[in-house]
Homo-oligomer: A and B are copies of this chain.
Amino acid sequence: MKNIIIASTSTVHGSGYLDYIVNDLERFFEKAQTILFIPFARPSGISHDAYTEIARKGFQKINKRVIGLHEYENKAEAIKTADAIFTGGGNTFVLTYQLYKNNLISLLQEAVYGGIPYLGTSAGSNICGLTIKTTNDMPIVYPPSFNALALVPFNINPHYLDPDTSSTHMGETRGTRIREFHHYNTPPVVGLREGSWIHVKGQSIILKGDLSARIFEYNKAPYEVFPGTELNHLK
């Protein structure tokens, strides 16, 4: 049974790494001694080792051991035998490129469908959607495909931002970009604000956190859904 947390961000303004969600993660990772960390998204280009160290410190708070996937020679085996998996944020294109390069896409899908708890933050959440076509990241490397893990029947837009009505900037708002997405693609998009997450448990897909999320469906005006809402009807 799928058991997934898809979080908008690892960190909310003014608090430490994963702090806002750590109590929920303690329950979520209850049965896991060790968390396999996928550091491939490399935020700000930091090394896999340095990034894994950040995750390690974050999970010390709830007494979990963290091992970086890059530390394993046999990455397929590491995923198959993991207690739990956490993919951190950074650049979604870099992450996707590395997952394809290491032939890990279907292995990760099998692991998650097989019941291994999966946590994603930011880029690690983007890849839970059908495609990475609603990432906010810069396309700094060319992945072999934009198709992602498709663990939920929609796309994710993490770090969702409402339009800044005081701005004089002429670049597109997030909402405009997602509307452009719907000129070429039909899947729904969940705009997940920082501090929000989605908990997938089997067939259930529930919005969590204190904030509402913005839902963009094809040929429909965008609308808000509130914490506790079941999202498994979206498709």
* A contact residues vs B (CB 8 Å cutoff): 9, 11-14, 42-45, 90-91, 93-94, 132-142, 145-146, 159, 161, 168-172, 176-185, 194
Contact = CB atoms under 8 A, between A and B. Distances in A.
B169 A13 contact: yes
Contacts of A183: 42, 45, 140
Given A91-B180, A94-B184, A183-B42, A170 B11 contact: yes
B45 A140 contact: no
B136 A138 contact: yes
Given A13-B168, A183-B45, A138 B146 contact: no
B172 A161 contact: no
A34 to B, nearest CB: 27
Contact of A171 (B94, B141, B161, B181): B161
A194 B170 contact: yes
A137 B184 CA distance: 14
A136 B91 CA distance: 13
Contacts of A185: 140
16 contacts: A9-B170, A43-B172, A44-B172, A45-B182, A91-B177, A91-B180, A93-B139, A133-B139, A136-B171, A136-B172, A137-B177, A138-B178, A138-B181, A139-B146, A140-B185, A141-B184
Contact of A179 (B13, B45, B94): B45
Given A12-B170, A42-B183, A180-B44, A135 B139 contact: yes
Nearest to A161: B169
A202 to B, nearest CB: 30
A88 to B, nearest CB: 13
B145 A142 contact: yes
Nearest to A146: B142
A142 B14 CA distance: 37
Contacts of A136: 138, 171-172
